[in-house]
């Protein structure tokens, strides 16, 4: 099974963007979280079965800071939830997709994550994610 888990939107200021998206979506975000390893703060909005994730850089060297500097605020990635992220990573490698890591990493929202390079996916940064069961 694979399903749309969330879309990620890079923002300059998480607090201001939370207010904007609360007005746009007519609901408040349900969670904020910092992923120190990736130098990012996130906020999540639930939309039906999927989510919108806002991402703000916490350091100039973060991928989000570089993205915003180069492209401005906007759509950063599309995330798909998979049942077995390691198996899905192997399948994609065999299909010729370029992954940005060899192993899944711990990401926001209690997920293991791995990204597919945009050059392998028609210019779209694709995130694979799997719920961490502890």
For the segment 7-31, what is each residue's pLDDT rounded down to a tens digit?
999 999 999 999 999 999 999 999 9
Distance CA 27, CA 118 (A): 31
> How far is the CA of 25 from the CAs of 9, 22, 48, 127, in angstroms?
14, 5, 12, 23
List, in order, residues 6 or more apart from 76 with CB less than 8 Å away. Answer: 8, 9, 10, 55, 64, 67, 125
Question: What confidence tens digit (pLDDT) does each residue in 80-104 have?
Answer: 999 999 999 999 999 999 999 999 9
Q: Helical H runs in 32-122?
A: 63-71, 85-94
Residue 1, pLDDT above cutoff 80: no
pLDDT over 70 percentage in the chain = 100
Name the 3-class secondary structure at 51. Answer: strand
């Amino acid at each position: 099974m694979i399903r749309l888990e969330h879309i990620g939107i890079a923002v300059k200021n998480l607090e201001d963007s939370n207010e904007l998206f609360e007005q746009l979506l007519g609901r408040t975000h349900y969670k904020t979280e910092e992923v120190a390893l990736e130098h990012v703060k996130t906020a999540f909005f639930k939309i039906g079965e999927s989510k919108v994730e806002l991402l703000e850089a916490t350091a100039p060297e973060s991928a989000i800071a570089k993205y915003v500097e180069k492209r401005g605020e906007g759509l950063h990635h599309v995330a798909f939830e998979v049942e077995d992220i390691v198996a899905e990573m192997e399948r994609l490698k065999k299909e010729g997709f370029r992954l940005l890591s060899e192993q899944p990493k711990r990401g926001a929202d209690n997920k293991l994550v791995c990204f597919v390079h945009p050059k392998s996916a028609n210019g779209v940064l694709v995130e694979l994610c799997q719920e961490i069961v502890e």
